[in-house]
Amino acid sequence: MIVLKGAEVSARIKEQVREALKGCEGQPPCLAVVRVGERPDDVSYERGALKKMEAFGLRARSCAFPEDISDEDFRKAFRAINEDPDVAGILLLRPLPKQICEKDIAEMIDPAKDLDGISSVNMARVFMGDAGGFAPCTAEAVVEVLKANGIPISGKRVTIVGRSLVVGKPLAMLMIKENATVTVCHTKTADLAGTCRQAEILVAAAGRARMLNGDYVGQDAVVLDVGINVDKDGKLCGDVDFESIRDKASMATPVPGGIGAVTTAVLARHLVRAAGFEIG
């Protein structure tokens, strides 16, 4: 099995960003990472995003709030970030605590700064196949990994395990745009393992640690693990039981070091676009 590491794909995007920023006068674009609470996966993703922006020659700042912040106070703080002219793009880490209306916050964000495609404006653009908006970074990263490694998408049977607006649904639209035949699975899918085994490209985006093992993978399938989970030992792991698929999959992404590394690179590319620079 070939391990598809994200570092090489990330490096390619880094060059795109650096090329776009040539001749940039003044300070480089700034990203605001908005986090509420201390969820380990959010903290880990934020740390990776801040590190990636710095490595790409961009600016980033953490805007962290306590878990128990009120809806009113968070709206006020978020509005200030949204209206800050120094902030070219915003990454809102979700899910938000129950006392905050996530849907309302998603509608507050300026679509031009909405780097992770959470607003209805950008989501509609994804579903319309309009490349002018911002697709969710993780969904775009999956397609980026396939293309960068020369893995054909057109005409392939793609199965996505997970139907969230963060990954599953927008990724299905991006795959359809690439002419794939897409199946989206979820908790109500009958014979989930059997359905997954039919896939030539299998994407795990269920949010459950090591949920998919070798029984879910067809011979020579390409497996892309989107999951970022923390196991009982406090270690990061994906939605795929990586060791159990070695004799089945032809290629697979690891966790960590796979899709996540590309996701933050895509975020950087989105930031540069949001600031008005052209990406080649």
Q: Are strands 229-230 and 236-237 parallel, antiparallel or unpaired?
A: antiparallel
Low-confidence ranges of the chain (pLDDT < 70): none
Gap between the Cα atoms of 184 and 205, Å rounded = 10
Q: Are residues 246 and 158 in the same domain?
A: yes
Residue 265 is assigned to a structural domain of this protein: no
Residue that finishes a domain, picked among 72, 97, 113: 113
Q: Are residues 99 and 148 in the same domain?
A: no
Supply the range of the domain harboring residue 202.
137-260
Residue 1 is assigned to a structural domain of this protein: no
**Predicted local distance difference test score (pLDDT) of residue 212:** 96
Residue 81 is assigned to a structural domain of this protein: yes
Residue that finishes a domain, picked among 79, 113, 147: 113
**Predicted local distance difference test score (pLDDT) of residue 225:** 98
Instruction: Locate 114 and state its tokens.
Output: 């909405």
Query: What pLDDT digit, counting tens, does each position of 132-147 carry?
Result: 999 999 999 999 999 9
Q: Are residues 141 and 244 in the same domain?
A: yes
Measure the CA angle with vertex 13, ends 33 and 20; round to 5°. 85
Q: Provide the β-strand partners of residue 212.
A: 240
Among 269, 247, 242, 245, which residue's Cα sits nearest to residue 258? 242
What is the rounded (10 degree) CA torsion for 240, 163, 133, 143? 30
Residue 48 is assigned to a structural domain of this protein: yes
Contact 260, 42 (CB under 8 A): no
Instruction: Locate 80 and state its tokens.
Output: 């200030």
- Please give the single-letter amino acid code of residue 21: L
Look up the CATH number of the domain holding residue 235: 3.40.50.720
Q: Are residues 156 and 241 in the same domain?
A: yes
Query: Into how many domains does the chain fold?
Result: 2
Residue 272 is assigned to a structural domain of this protein: no
Residue 4 is assigned to a structural domain of this protein: no
What is the helix (H) or strand (E) element at residue 9, kind and residue range?
helix 6-20
Gap between the Cα atoms of 237 and 226, Å rounded = 10
**Predicted local distance difference test score (pLDDT) of residue 235:** 82
**Predicted local distance difference test score (pLDDT) of residue 279:** 85
Residue 169 is assigned to a structural domain of this protein: yes
**Predicted local distance difference test score (pLDDT) of residue 267:** 97
Among 44, 128, 56, which residue's Cα sits nearest to residue 89? 56
Q: Are residues 75 and 182 in the same domain?
A: no
**Predicted local distance difference test score (pLDDT) of residue 41:** 78
Q: Are residues 78 and 168 in the same domain?
A: no
**CA 258, chain centre distance (Å):** 11
Residue 65 is assigned to a structural domain of this protein: yes
Query: What pLDDT digit, counting tens, does each position of 71-119 carry?
Result: 999 999 999 999 999 999 999 999 999 999 999 999 999 999 999 999 9
Gap between the Cα atoms of 278 and 238, Å rounded = 34
**Predicted local distance difference test score (pLDDT) of residue 228:** 83
Instruction: Locate 43 and state its tokens.
Output: 């903290």
Q: Are residues 69 and 151 in the same domain?
A: no
Look up residue 159 and give its DSSP letter: E
**Predicted local distance difference test score (pLDDT) of residue 270:** 98
